[in-house]
Amino acid sequence: MSENTIFAPVSVLPRVGEKKVEALNGLGIKKVIDLLYYFPYRYEDLSKQNIENLVDGDKAVLQGQVVTSPVLSRFGGKRNSLRFKLDVENLIINVVFFNQPYLRDKILIGQEIAIYGKWEQSNLSLVGSKIIDQAKTGQLEPIYSTTASIKQWSLRKLIKDTFTNYQKDLVNIVPEEIRLPLHLMSEAEMLKKIHFPVNYEEAQVARKSAVFEEFFLYLSRLRWLNKDEDQEGVEVNYDLNKLKKFIETLPFELTDSQKKAVNEICYDIKSPLAMNRLLQGDVGSGKTIVAALGIYAAATAKMQSALMVPTEVLAAQHYDNLKSLFKDTSLEIALLTSATPKAQRKNILERLKTGVIDLVIGTHALIQPDVEFKNLSLVIIDEQHRFGVNQRRALRVKGLMPNILSMTATPIPRTLAITIYGSIKISTIKEMPRGRLPIKTLWVKSPDDPLIDRAVQYELKNDHQVYVVTPLVAESEKIDLRNAEEIYDQYVKKYPEVEVALLHGKMKAEAKEQILTDFAAQKSRILISTTVIEVGVDVKAATLMIIYDANRFGLSQLHQLRGRVGRSSLQSYCVLVGNPTNDIAKKRLELMVKSNDGFVLAENDLKLRGAGEVFGSRQSGEINFKVGDPLEDQKALQLARSAVDQVFKSDPLLENEANGNLHQFLIETKDYDETID
């Protein structure tokens, strides 16, 4: 398999030139194997339908005889329609094709023709999308996700030709000892029946094999990448008495969940095995203080910690908060981002290397090659789902197997988390800090609802602050949504007595940081923003969150945004503004009004959107399964987990001949690491 051509780049395929390579790359198709595993997301049934059984709106193939010549009409610039009549089962119907004038010469009176389109019962019309080769009627036609750069028919033909030419090179990646007892299809059979099924039943059976294989390969790759997990790590012999005394100085009492999480982390870092733990908790539940106590414990053992976050704004905030928290201790703390001046950066790097700095906080700047530590023992990754596998590993290799603590405010069900993330241990913070009041959430349909102005006036009168969030930065001709610049202008005019600020992702890091600093210092009272404030921003005087076009956001994102208020003992409010037209969006807003529990909302988000969307997309380095759904296909996921355990328990390095194909596959696809986690 080492010379298997299915791992060659798509440029080796016939008639695939530079432009088509670029188009395929845009779909995530870089190698021949990617093309073979680029599955259809649905099928069109090309079976001829009985016209009597159709209802309005049905997609159908109707076959009949052309009884009038096609008439081409033009309207609105380049737009046109082609109309003729068709005799179907002795019923004369109207057929119309839009913007396909080239079909006129292919449609002749008396010709027998099959057309796929949408049935309109009211006027006995078929709005055609294509003419079907009569030899293909009765088949299922695969429909793939495409872009403007590559047409559906072109991609379909390329996949078919590639399968024909390369099926002899396909090998079974799942070992026989796993595949045969589970009655899984061979690789060639599975791909054939997914791309070219005879009927839906055949496609569904093939999908079951594909789902298992996808989960199996994902979990195998995760195990392979983390095969050194159980190796000896940095043993942190922290000073328990110093840690207890520090906890006593905190101006608040830890919740029971926080105490439990601290104990679990301290137990792990003192163990000779490297810690790999996920700390999950709702927005505002106090995950950072738990991490801070782990950092302090490491410092008592004279060992270093690193905290990596996804944005410079969040890094600066963590730096300020932890500087304040550790102000009466001897801990040396540094902030390292791409915005750090060269001279300052050089000084930080020197002090890290010599062990003077106990804690460094930063973004991706921490994983640059010239960043060296003396004795890194604890790596904390905030909003861990924002980082890919290679990025997380790049920080881990800065030390001799340091302990890893990942944090997330996007909770998922424990059993699903264990299955998805492999052998990672999980700590969960269930309660909110004492003294916090639940955020009251209201939903209004119109942006002109007087409730919005009353809420803003009330909070300003009480010397509080207001967040206003919108999906867009500037006006868009394509999408009719409220935008940040428009709302900013409106709020400046409506509330001239206070400072109104505008924040969005297109601003430079320095400008963003200054705006947030001014807001935290109450120099500005209203902050108009895009979702750049979704994660981490913590302003205790902010008590009102207004979210325009709330129906355009996902449930988890709405909850993250709402979590920017309610950060103190003050009563806080969230006003959702949106008039959704579909049931799922309505359900999301209803759930937001009913519940403040992030775990409850996460469960519902999984049900409403599917796990693939909740976990994220390939662009951000997150889980994005092609055919499997970890929620709907939990049984297959658990079977795959057991199978992976079986394989790696008996052959940790995949050296046995029976696992040769799997081993080769993982090696050949190692450059996909960033897209699988």
* Mean pLDDT of all residues in 286-295: 95
pLDDT at position 273:
85
pLDDT digit string, tens, across residues 531-568 = 877 555 678 899 999 999 999 888 878 988 998 898 88
Mean pLDDT of the residues in the chain = 86
Phi (first) and psi of residue 387, to 5 degrees: -115, 145
Q: In whole angstroms, what is the distance from residue 225 CA to residue 422 CA?
A: 11
Highest mean pLDDT pick, 364-368, 405-409, 653-657: 653-657
Q: Give 215's pLDDT tier (boundaries 50, 70, 90).
A: very high
C-beta of residue 383 within 8 angstroms of C-beta of residue 364: no
Q: Which CATH class is domain 440-595?
A: alpha beta
Residues above pLDDT 90, as percent of the chain: 53
Helix (H) or strand (E) holding 112: strand 112-120
Q: In whole angstroms, what is the distance from residue 625 CA to residue 618 CA?
A: 9
Q: In whole angstroms, what is the distance from residue 273 CA to residue 77 CA?
A: 70
Considering the domain 47-136, what is its CATH architecture? Beta Barrel (2.40)
What dihedral do alpha carbons 295, 299, 304, 308 form, nearest 10°? 20
The DSSP letter of residue 382 is: E
pLDDT of 242 higher than 90: yes
Q: In whole angstroms, what is the distance from residue 495 CA to residue 292 CA?
A: 40
Amino acid identity of 327? Answer: K
Q: Which of 204, 176, 151, 192 is nearest to 42 (CA)?
A: 204
C-beta of residue 305 within 8 angstroms of C-beta of residue 299: yes
Helix (H) or strand (E) holding 347: helix 342-353
Q: Give 621's pLDDT tier (boundaries 50, 70, 90).
A: very low
Highest mean pLDDT pick, 265-274, 362-371, 450-459: 450-459
Q: Give 393's pLDDT tier (boundaries 50, 70, 90).
A: low
**Start-end of H helices in 226-354:** 240-248, 256-270, 287-300, 312-325, 342-353
pLDDT at position 230:
55
Report CA-CA distances (Å) from 519 to 88, 440, 495, 522: 69, 22, 16, 5
pTM of the model: 0.63
pLDDT digit string, tens, across residues 12-56 = 999 999 999 999 998 989 999 999 999 998 888 888 888 988 999
pLDDT at position 583:
86
Which residues partner with 279 through β-bridges? 407, 427
Phi-psi region of 77 (alpha: psi -120 to 50; beta: other; left: phi over 0): left
Q: In whole angstroms, what is the distance from residue 143 CA to residue 126 CA?
A: 21
pLDDT of 613 higher than 50: no
Domain spans of the chain, in order of start: 47-136, 240-429, 440-595
pLDDT at position 672:
47
Highest mean pLDDT pick, 176-190, 299-313, 529-543: 176-190
pLDDT at position 228:
53
pLDDT at position 617:
32
Amino acid identity of 12? Answer: V
pLDDT of 675 higher than 70: no
Name the strands in the sheet holding 359-362, side by side, starting at the edge strand that comes first in the sequence: 333-336, 359-362, 304-308, 376-382, 403-408, 276-281, 425-429
Tokens for 430, please give them: 């269930």
Torsion sign across C-alpha atoms 265, 409, 317, 511? positive
Q: Which of 7, 19, 11 is nearest to 147 (CA)?
A: 19
pLDDT at position 434:
79
pLDDT of 303 higher than 70: yes
Q: Which residue has the higher pLDDT, 47 or 389?
A: 47
pLDDT at position 129:
85
Residues 6+ apart with CB under 8 A from 513: 312, 313, 316
pLDDT of 618 higher than 50: no
pLDDT of 418 higher than 70: no
pLDDT digit string, tens, across residues 49-65 = 889 889 999 888 999 99
DSSP, collapsed to helix, strand or coil, labels residue 193 as helix
**Start-end of H helices in 425-483:** 450-461
Tokens for 627, please give them: 């055919």
What dihedral do alpha carbons 224, 225, 228, 233 form, nearest 10°? -160
pLDDT digit string, tens, across residues 95-154 = 999 999 999 999 999 999 999 999 999 999 999 988 988 766 667 889 998 888 898 989
Q: In whole angstroms, what is the distance from residue 515 CA to residue 505 CA?
A: 12
Q: Which residue has the higher pLDDT, 89 or 359?
A: 359
pLDDT at position 422:
57
Q: In whole angstroms, what is the distance from residue 676 CA to residue 365 CA?
A: 22
pLDDT at position 607:
67
| 487-491: long-range contacts, CB 8 A cutoff, minimum separation 24 | 487/528, 487/548, 488/528, 491/526, 491/528
* Mean pLDDT of all residues in 242-254: 94
Identical fold between 240-429 and 440-595? yes
DSSP, collapsed to helix, strand or coil, labels residue 550 as helix
pLDDT at position 46:
82
Q: In whole angstroms, what is the distance from residue 522 CA to residue 463 CA?
A: 9
Residues above pLDDT 70, as percent of the chain: 88
> What is the C-alpha R_g of the chain?
29
Considering the domain 240-429, what is its CATH architecture? 3-Layer(aba) Sandwich (3.40)
pLDDT at position 624:
62
